[in-house]
Amino acid sequence: MDEIIRYAKPSEEDAAPLVAMAREVFSDTFAHLYDPAPFTRFLDESYGPGGRMERDLADPSIRWRIAAIGDRPIGYAKLSQLVAPAPAPLPGAMELQQIYVLRTWHGKGIADQLMEWALDTARADGAPEIYLTVFDHNQRAKRFYTRHGFGEVGHCTFKLGDRVDDDRVWRKLL
């Protein structure tokens, strides 16, 4: 994999392949945990036409950074003002809502580059801290966030169909 990776703000042309990539990553990571029918409904609501991700891509208050090979996204980071249920957040706190990388690109430094962009962007915006939520059993993600200086500060839930899972709220002071 000696291809040149482009890091950039996504363009309108990147939207459809980016949504498809996000759907693939979410499916690869979590499909084995859920019943197929509610999982497919969630995917359609989140990554289908007119879904949450398309709406978020059109929202100027949400910041994005993609990693792509040519016109094919292989990863992205999504940064916003804080919406997670954080305990006593400081004014101006931000949230890393997602950092996704295709499985075949794990371990290649792409997530590290996307994380550095998110942290640098939050600092440049004057954020005193940055939060994220992570599925309690996603050990790979938790090791990654720990390596980047995040620590657990709370919990919340994630509901998909009838299943309610524990998520953890993590924070990094900037």
Is the pLDDT at 2 greater than 80, yes or no? no
State the chain's mean pLDDT as an integer. 96
- Which residue ranges form the domains of the chain, and what is each CATH number? 6-173 (3.40.630.30)
CA atoms within 13 A on the CB side of 108: 15
- Exposure class string for 127-151: b at 16+ Cβ within 10 A, else e: bebbbbbbbeeeeebbebbeebebe
Predicted confidence at residue 1, as pLDDT, reads 53
Predicted confidence at residue 22, as pLDDT, reads 98
pTM for this structure?
0.95
Rounded to an integer, the average pLDDT of 111-128 is 98
Could you please report the per-residue DSSP string of 48-115?
Answer: STT-HHHHHHT-TTSEEEEEEETTEEEEEEEEEE--S--SSPPTT-EEEEEEEE-GGGTTSSHHHHHH
Six token digits for residue 12: 């309108």
For the stretch 14-53, pLDDT in tens is 999 999 999 999 999 999 999 999 999 999 999 999 999 9
Query: Residue type for 77, please?
Result: A
Inter-residue contact 94 to 79 (CB < 8 Å): yes
